[in-house]
Amino acid sequence: MKTERRPRRFLLRNLVLHFRPTTVPEPTLKFTFTWGLGGMAVVLVMLQIVTGVMLKFVYEPIATQAYASVIHLQNDVPFGGFIRNIHFWSANFLVVAVFLHLLRVFFTGAFHAGRRFTWVVGLILFFLVLASNFTGYLLPWDQLAYWAVTISTGMLEYVPGIGLRIQHLVRGGPEIGQATLGIFFALHTAVIPILMGGLMAFHFWRIRKAGGLAVSRPPENEPDAAPASVPVVPGLLIREAVVALLVIAFVCLMAAAIDTPVGAPANPGLSPNPTKAPWYFGGFQEMLLHFHPSFAVFVIPAIIFFALLLVPYVNLEETGAGIWFASRTGRRTAAIAAVSAVLFTGLLVFLDEFYMDWTGWMPDVSPFLSTGLIPAAGCFVVVAGCYLSARKLFSATRMEALQAGFVFLTVSFVVMTLTCALFRGQGMRLMWPWP
């Protein structure tokens, strides 16, 4: 009898009653400490769940009827278009909010001892958010969705060895069709929400067990310098409620002002020009234009992903936890890295578009080397140079230099994403976004 009560007692004490502590350090109440990004993400997830359940009453996950059901929802169902707009905008804002939350945790050093696995869980949640958006992207079954998913799943074939098998598994066959729609619908409405719900609860519990938000520890010789604590109610609760209401109001305003685009019905025989992946995969599509496909889709992302997983387990200084970029030196090196990334990436994209010809310059070298290994190695040398420059020129700590390198990579990827989304026209040629 006692053993049966322990699991329930564990859940009650650790996941329910301990969801929030009774007090929190006063500095963590400052809005700029976290920008409320974690709470925003939770609110956006809840909006997704509520509106998603409503949409399921009308949507039909059948290739021959999906598009018609979306049009019916938009035009005939009372408030159907508004609900779908909320679902659409909250999904896109969720990607941005979770990405910025991940950056906030990294740049405030909130992933050290006691929080390492919490960082890993957060990374997994970020990829689940991307997967949720991607699987939902196909459901309207219009031209934009059909060909965006075709391009995105087409990237999978460049994964060495098992690419085609993964592609067929995701698509449910060699082509996008009814099987693909069924798989994406099941993942989007059942599998991914269940995984996200479980991991979110575990993520919150881990944060609570680690003592809440990470703040700078007082020096050992100043034990009385610890920040004062304030009650969660009303100190934190009111702030979270205000942020939640502002997020809901903003999403509803966007939903009322801008309708979710719906194109022509999906036509497998007529691809639009240009054909682009969803905006959050635009950086990878841009990389395909500059690197060998295996490097753009698999090698470079895999290296960066495993590096992010291992970062908390590297021996880094734990000073400055909760302080953006650790110190004034860290903020200076991060700013220089961001500007350098914009100039470096923008210049390389321009030169590679109009002047560079790696294959022509090295005709006797295989494309795997000339457009893959050599350019990728050069890019990682630049990132390593960013790290070493921060260490030598600015006397940055290992953590500050690592942050500078991460800023360089992040800004470079953002530049490539914006380039693909805004500056690629017909034939994926580089051009201005306005006539």
- Which pLDDT band, with edges at 50, 70 and 90, does 147 fall under? very high
Instruction: Clarify whether residues 130 and 177 are in a common domain.
Output: yes
CB atoms within 10 A of CB 141: 24
Contact predicate 69/60, CB 8 Å: yes
CA–CA dist 378, 299 (Å, integer): 14
Token pair 């290739």 is at which residue?
63
Q: How far is CA 287 from CA 60, 118, 372, in A?
A: 36, 30, 11
Determine the pLDDT at residue 237.
80
pLDDT digits (tens, 9 = 90+) for 255-265: 999 998 888 99
Determine the pLDDT at residue 31.
77
**Whole-number percent of the chain with pLDDT over 70:** 89
| Residue 12 domain-assigned (yes or no) | no
The answer to which of 229-233, 341-345, 420-424 has the lowest mean pLDDT is: 229-233
| Residue 39 domain-assigned (yes or no) | yes
Which tokens belong to 203? 């993520």
| Residue 396 domain-assigned (yes or no) | yes
Instruction: Clarify whether residues 334 and 210 are in a common domain.
Output: no
- Which pLDDT band, with edges at 50, 70 and 90, does 1 fall under? very low
Contact predicate 24/227, CB 8 Å: no
Instruction: Clarify whether residues 266 and 175 are in a common domain.
Output: yes
Determine the pLDDT at residue 6.
59
Which tokens belong to 135? 């699987």
pLDDT digits (tens, 9 = 90+) for 45-79: 999 999 999 999 999 999 999 999 999 999 999 99
Contact predicate 287/363, CB 8 Å: no
Instruction: Clarify whether residues 66 and 190 are in a common domain.
Output: yes
Q: Which helix (H) or strand (E) covers residue 25, if one does?
A: strand 23-25
Determine the pLDDT at residue 217.
54
Determine the pLDDT at residue 146.
94
Determine the pLDDT at residue 219.
46
| Residue 117 domain-assigned (yes or no) | yes
CA–CA dist 135, 172 (Å, integer): 13
Q: Residue 25's beta-bridge partner residues?
A: 229
Helix/strand/coil for 209: helix
Determine the pLDDT at residue 115.
84
CA–CA dist 29, 284 (Å, integer): 37
pLDDT digits (tens, 9 = 90+) for 214-255: 665 544 444 555 567 777 777 778 888 899 999 999 999 999
Q: Which helix (H) or strand (E) covers residue 230, if one does?
A: strand 229-231
| Residue 222 domain-assigned (yes or no) | no
| Total count of domains within the chain | 2
Helix/strand/coil for 424: strand
Instruction: Clarify whether residues 266 and 405 are in a common domain.
Output: no
CA–CA dist 181, 172 (Å, integer): 9
Domain extent, residue 192, equals 21-214+228-272
Instruction: Clarify whether residues 172 and 122 are in a common domain.
Output: yes
Instruction: Clarify whether residues 267 and 365 are in a common domain.
Output: no
Helix/strand/coil for 396: coil
- Which pLDDT band, with edges at 50, 70 and 90, does 315 fall under? confident
Q: What is the DSSP string of 121-183?
A: HHHHHHHHHHHHHHHHHTTT-BHHHHHHHHHHHHGGGGSTTTHHHHHHHHHTSSSSSHHHHHH
Residue 205 has pLDDT above 50, yes or no: yes
| Residue 11 domain-assigned (yes or no) | no
CA–CA dist 207, 34 (Å, integer): 14
CA–CA dist 153, 147 (Å, integer): 10
Q: Provide mean pLDDT across the span 161-185.
A: 93
Mean pLDDT value across the chain: 86
Contact predicate 256/82, CB 8 Å: yes
Instruction: Clarify whether residues 233 and 320 are in a common domain.
Output: no
| Residue 199 domain-assigned (yes or no) | yes
Residue 319 has pLDDT above 80, yes or no: no
| Residue 223 domain-assigned (yes or no) | no
Q: Looking at per-residue confidence, does 167 or 356 come out higher?
A: 167
- Which pLDDT band, with edges at 50, 70 and 90, does 12 fall under? very low
Instruction: Clarify whether residues 266 and 310 are in a common domain.
Output: no
Respond yes or no on whether the N-terminal peptide bond of residue 140 is cis (omega within 30° of 0). Answer: no
Instruction: Clarify whether residues 312 and 420 are in a common domain.
Output: yes
Which tokens belong to 290? 């500059």
Instruction: Clarify whether residues 331 and 397 are in a common domain.
Output: yes
Determine the pLDDT at residue 21.
67
Determine the pLDDT at residue 221.
46
Which tokens belong to 61? 């996950």
Q: Looking at per-residue confidence, does 210 or 319 come out higher?
A: 210
- Regarding pTM above 0.85, the answer is yes
Alpha helices in 21-79 (DSSP H): 31-34, 37-56, 66-75
Instruction: Clarify whether residues 184 and 260 are in a common domain.
Output: yes
The answer to which of 31-35, 106-110, 134-138 has the lowest mean pLDDT is: 31-35
pLDDT digits (tens, 9 = 90+) for 373-417: 888 888 889 989 998 999 999 888 888 899 999 999 999 999 999
First to last CA, the chain: 74
Residue 179's CATH number: 1.20.810.10
Alpha helices in 172-326 (DSSP H): 178-186, 192-209, 232-257, 282-288, 293-294, 300-310
